[in-house]
Chains A and B, each alone.
Chain A
Amino acid sequence: MELDYLMTVILSSLSSASILLIATIGLAVVYGLMGVINLAHGEFLMVGAYSALTATQIGIPYPLAIPFAIMVTMLIGAIVECLIIRKLYGRIFDTMLATWGLGMVFNQGAVLLFGTVSPGIGMPQYSLTIGQYSLAIYPLIMIAVAILMLAFVYFLMTKTVYGMKARASIQAPQMAQAIGIESSNVNTLTFAIGCGLAGFAGAILLPIIPATPSMGLFFAVKGFLTVVVAGPVALTGSAVTALGLGGGSSITASFLTSVVGDVFFFLMTALLLWLYPLGISSKWRRKL
């Protein structure tokens, strides 16, 4: 095996894992902090993608379209929390059902609003050459984006007052309320942040994955499995899982076929859940 091929495989597998992680972090935050599995997460990603796309179409430059997408999805997330999620705390299956239905509504809403095909914004046409192989630059940048995103969420949740309140409100809501935390407001914000992260993912991945009404579905499945395998230490666990499953399936796909790559992903998921029914991080002594 030539060295240049090996290098490109490693780099592109890292970027595949990063893309999976970027798409999953929002889900991990909401699950880890609130115990809510948001099955509409993929659709929030889609909303983010369309928001960014619409912004660029009316002339806003792409880098500014990303914060716009975050704001839109956070706002929608906050509304959804107040109207639906709030009423279903502690009822995990009911929340899953409700968010699944919500996802369908968003999906069809996007068809009605934007039609079935929208122009993509294209990927920056820069490539990196290693030996005989060349790689598109933009997917490689996603490695740095994933690291930054992870660092940001970790800092937000462990080092800020909001982060402490957020964890307090969900772990011991009555105690939190007793010391003066408006736990319901905090939860609304947490859910909105989770959705905002999905919106960010949709916007930043837009050049790689064009905006379509059903784009969320594929991320929902793999993101959901990643979070479940990760277990209670949602953030670090998801990072490790995305690297292992996403990177592993990409490497398998490079040497064998994409189908075998997918088989690897799902078999490993099954195997890990059999070995660690509560997720790989169930015995870790970390907060997040």
Chain B
Amino acid sequence: MKNYLMTGVMTLTMTLFTNSTLAETKIGAIFDLTGGLNIYGIQQNNALNLAVESINANGGVLGEPVKVVSYDAQSELSKYTQYANTSVLRDRISAMFAGLTSSSREAIRPIFRKANIPYFYSSLYEGGACDKQTFVTGSSASQQLSVLIKWAVEKYGKRIYIMAPDYNFGTISGHWIHEYAKENGATVVGEDYLALSVTDYAPTIQKIQAAKPDVVVALPVGANQTGFLEQFAAAGLKKSIGLVSTNYGSGNQQVVVSPEAGEGLISSMGYFPSVDNPANVQFKKLWEAKYGDETPIVAGAVDTWNAVHLWAAAANKAGSTDSNAVIAALESGISFDAPNGKVTLEAGSHHLRQDIYIAEGNDKHSFNILSTFADSAPAYENAKCDLITNPKTVAHFTPEDK
């Protein structure tokens, strides 16, 4: 028995060592598989694995199968930096796919910059991240809000109220709402920035009624803030005031809120499961075969799927997984036929040109698409961030620092 055990341990050790010396392509993944943020993280990780499977089934990258080294950040920032370092030093990955919150991205961005490894961030966010190694496949706040505010002002009227979370996603989005309101001749009549721990929305509901807006731009993050939507509807405000959002549905909030509260809420994002195109049909078929159809697919999952495919396409195009070659290929105007329509990676800003959809919540915990803004450019990022002429730029641009 002891002998068997010893042999077992020996073989295991040997496989471990031989594995690390094999010339196969490894990519890293750090997502929140447990803890409060896992409503996003689990799906991002699922999408990554699905993308790698489909790439491997179609011959892999440069003829070799891709291997994933996956970590669970447990919704904790310290885990992100720890695993980012591990993946660089021990796993020797060729590319990294990680992060949900902006704080997690900012925590690990320097690590991949120093190691010169392409890093893909796949979530909608406030916008403005800029450096040579970072590639963003989610939509940015200005990308979504520019179309949404114009649409909302035309549909509901010129008085806008802002309800947003009290951290940089909320406050920077708030800044963009002010800017686009001015552009469209509207005024912001009130704003409320709320901590993520707030569960009591009665004060906000009263302030909204006192300000008498035509439309509320609500950016609820996390499970608690979803309660706001329920209370907004129950107080009878939905009848007279419109509610629009850039992230309602990004964590499947439309499943949590009741049909009565969810019907008629407007969301603008880079992906909805009801997007109608052949790539999405194919993607949903693959997804449902592997993960079932109980939970709708979130935008962050599609952003991750796109990121992996863009990286694979770039590596195949470059003929190497070497970082400099891959980054050069990624900057060659590469595009991908994605579930959310064709996406194109902007060479200068490392952000995606992509379709932005405006959709309306229906009474079946899902969305009907109202309009599609095809091939929307990340205008703010393109204006601020040009990594072709200034490859040494390392910044996180915010609209305050002009």
CB 8 Å contact bits of B196-212 with A (1 = contact, 0 = none): 01111011111101100
B-facing mask of A183-219, CB < 8 A → 1, else 0? 0000000000000000000000001111010110111
Q: Kindly provide the distance from the CB of A33 to the nearest chain B CB, expressed in whole angstroms.
A: 27
Bound Cα distance A111, B295 (Å): 13
Cβ contacts under 8 Å, B227 to chain A: 208-210
**Judging by beta carbons under 8 Å apart, are B199 and A122 in contact?**
no
- Judge if B258 is at the interface, Cβ distance under 8 Å: yes
Contacts of B70 in A (CB 8 A): none
Of all chain A residues, the one with the shortest Cβ separation from B201 is A258
Interface: B64 (CB within 8 A): no
B34 CB within 8 Å of chain A: yes
Our pick among B199, B224, B256 for the contact of A117 (Cβ within 8 Å) is B256
> Are the C-beta atoms of B38 and A258 separated by less than 8 Å?
no
B206, A8: Cβ atoms closer than 8 Å: yes
Instruction: Describe B's contact surface by its main secondary structure.
Output: helix
Cβ 8 A contact of B224, one of A111, A139, A218, A259: A218
Contact B230 A250 (CB under 8 A): no
Are B202's CB and A12's CB within 8 A? yes
Q: Please indicate the chain B residues that have their CB under 8 angstroms from the CB of A16 in the complex.
A: 200, 202
B226 nearest CB across to chain A (Å): 6
Q: With both chains docked as a complex, state the minimum distance between the C-beta of B263 and any C-beta of chain A, in angstroms.
A: 11
User: In the bound complex, do residue B202 and residue A125 qualify as a contact, i.e. CB atoms below 8 Å apart?
Assistant: no
Complex interface: chain B residues within 8 A of A257 (CB): 192-193
The count of A-to-B residue pairs whose CB atoms sit within 8 angstroms is: 140
* Neighbour of B223 across the interface among A5, A129, A212, A219, CB < 8 A: A212
Contact between B234 and A136, CB atoms less than 8 A apart: yes
Chain A residues in 8 Å Cβ range of B204: 253, 258
Q: Is the CB of A214 within 8 A of B237?
A: no
Any chain A CB within 8 A of the CB of B325? no
In the complex formed, the residue of B with least CB distance to A12 is: B202
Count of chain B residues with a beta carbon within 8 Å of a chain A beta carbon: 47
Taken together as a complex, chains A and B put the C-alpha atoms of A135 and B224 apart, in Å, by 19
Interface flags, A5-49, vs B, CB<8A=1, else 0 = 100110011011001000000000000000000000000000000
The distance from the CB of A4 to the nearest CB of chain B, in whole angstroms, is: 10
**A145 on the B face (CB < 8 A):** no
Q: Is A134 touching B236 in the complex (CB atoms < 8 A)?
A: yes
Interface size class on chain A is 35 or more
A215 to B224 CA separation, bound complex (whole angstroms): 8
Asked if A155 CB lies within 8 Å of chain B CBs, one says no
Are the C-beta atoms of A118 and B255 separated by less than 8 Å? yes
CA distance A133 to B205 in the complex (A): 9
B231 touches A122 (CB 8 A): no
How many Å lie between the Cα of A155 and that of B173 in the bound state?
Answer: 52
How many angstroms between the C-alpha atoms of A77 and B288 in the bound complex? 38
Residue of B nearest to A23 (CB): B199
Q: In this complex, which of A15, A117, A123, A137 has the most chain B Cβ atoms within 10 angstroms of its Cβ?
A: A117
A208-B223 contact in complex given A134-B209, A258-B195, C-beta closer than 8 Å: no
Question: Chain B nearest CB: distance from A105 CB in Å?
Answer: 12
* A121-B258, A215-B223 known; A132 vs B39 contact (CB < 8 Å): no
B259 at the interface (CB under 8 A from A): yes
Q: Is B106 an interface residue (CB 8 A)?
A: no
Q: How far is the CB of B383 from chain A (nearest CB, A)?
A: 32
For B42, give its contact among A15, A116, A218 (CB under 8 Å): A116
Q: How far is the CB of B210 from chain A (nearest CB, A)?
A: 6
Q: Is B379 an interface residue (CB 8 A)?
A: no
**Residue contact A258 to B198, C-beta cutoff 8 Å:** yes
Chain B residue nearest in CB terms to A17: B200
| A123-B206 in contact (CB<8A) | no
Measured in the bound complex, the distance between the Cα atoms of B251 and A132 in whole Å is: 34
- Within the complex, the shortest CB–CB distance from A140 to chain B, in Å, comes to 10
In the complex, chain B residues whose CB is within 8 Å of the CB of A276 = none
Give the shortest distance, in Å, between B216 (CB) and chain A (any CB).
15
A117-B253, A122-B261, A135-B205 are known; give 19 further A-B pairs, CB within 8 A.
A19-B199, A116-B42, A117-B39, A117-B251, A119-B255, A119-B256, A120-B230, A120-B257, A127-B234, A127-B236, A129-B236, A139-B202, A218-B224, A250-B200, A250-B202, A257-B193, A258-B193, A258-B195, A258-B203
Can you identify 27 A-B contacts, CB atoms within 8 angstroms?
Answer: A5-B206, A5-B210, A8-B206, A111-B34, A115-B295, A116-B39, A118-B256, A119-B258, A120-B226, A122-B258, A122-B261, A123-B230, A126-B234, A127-B234, A132-B209, A133-B206, A136-B205, A208-B231, A210-B223, A210-B227, A210-B230, A215-B224, A219-B199, A253-B204, A254-B202, A254-B203, A259-B166
4 A-B pairs with least C-beta separation: A122-B258, A12-B202, A136-B234, A212-B223
